[in-house]
Amino acid sequence: MTDSLIEPIREASRHLVRELGFLRPTLAGTALPPSAVHALIELGAAPGLVASVLGARLRLEKSSVSRMLRKLAQAGLVAGVVDGADARRRPLFLTAAGEALLAEIHAFGRAQVAAALARLPEGEAARLHRGLAAYAEALAAAPEPVPEPVPVEIVPGYRPGLFGRLLELQARHYAATAGFGAAFEARVAAGMAEFVPRLGQGGGGQDGGLGRNQVWAALRQGEVVGGIAIDGEDLGENLAHLRWFILAPGLRGAGVGRRLLASALAFCDAAGFRETRLWTFRGLDAARHLYEAQGFTLLSEYPATTWGPPIPEQFFSRFSFGLPPSGGEAGRGTSAA
pLDDT of residue 333: 54
Identical fold between 3-141 and 153-319:
no
The predicted model gives 215-224 an average pLDDT of: 94
Among 70-74, 230-234, 289-293, 329-333, the minimum mean pLDDT is found in 329-333
Per the prediction, the chain carries an average pLDDT of: 83
Residue 204 scores a pLDDT above 50:
no
pLDDT of residue 187: 92
The string of pLDDT tens digits covering residues 105-163 is: 999 989 988 898 889 888 888 888 888 888 888 877 776 665 566 789 999 999 999 99
pLDDT of residue 284: 78
What residues does each domain of the chain span?
3-141, 153-319
Share of residues in the chain with pLDDT > 70 (%): 85
Pairing of strands 223-231, 239-247: antiparallel
The predicted model gives 94-104 an average pLDDT of: 92
Residue 64 scores a pLDDT above 90:
no
Among 19-23, 142-146, 220-224, 250-254, the minimum mean pLDDT is found in 142-146
Q: How confident is the model at residue 321 (pLDDT cuts 50, 70, 90)?
A: low
Query: How far apart (Å, rounded) are the C-alpha atoms in residues 241 and 333?
Result: 10
The pTM of the full predicted model, rounded to 2 decimals, is: 0.55
Residue 198 scores a pLDDT above 90:
yes
C-alpha angle 95/92/141, rounded to 5°?
125
Burial class of residue 183, CB neighbours in 10 A (0-12, 13-18, 19+): exposed
CATH classification of 153-319 is 3.40.630.30, yes or no?
yes
Residue 332 scores a pLDDT above 90:
no
pLDDT of residue 46: 86
pLDDT of residue 291: 92
The string of pLDDT tens digits covering residues 294-315 is: 999 999 988 877 766 677 889 9
Residue 229 scores a pLDDT above 60:
yes
Q: Which CATH code, of 3.40.50.2000, 2.40.100.10, 1.10.10.10, 1.20.1290.10, is assigned to 3-141?
A: 1.10.10.10
Contact 204, 230 (CB under 8 A): no
Contact 280, 314 (CB under 8 A): yes
Q: How confident is the model at residue 261 (pLDDT cuts 50, 70, 90)?
A: very high
Query: How far apart (Å, rounded) are the C-alpha atoms in residues 288 and 63?
Result: 28
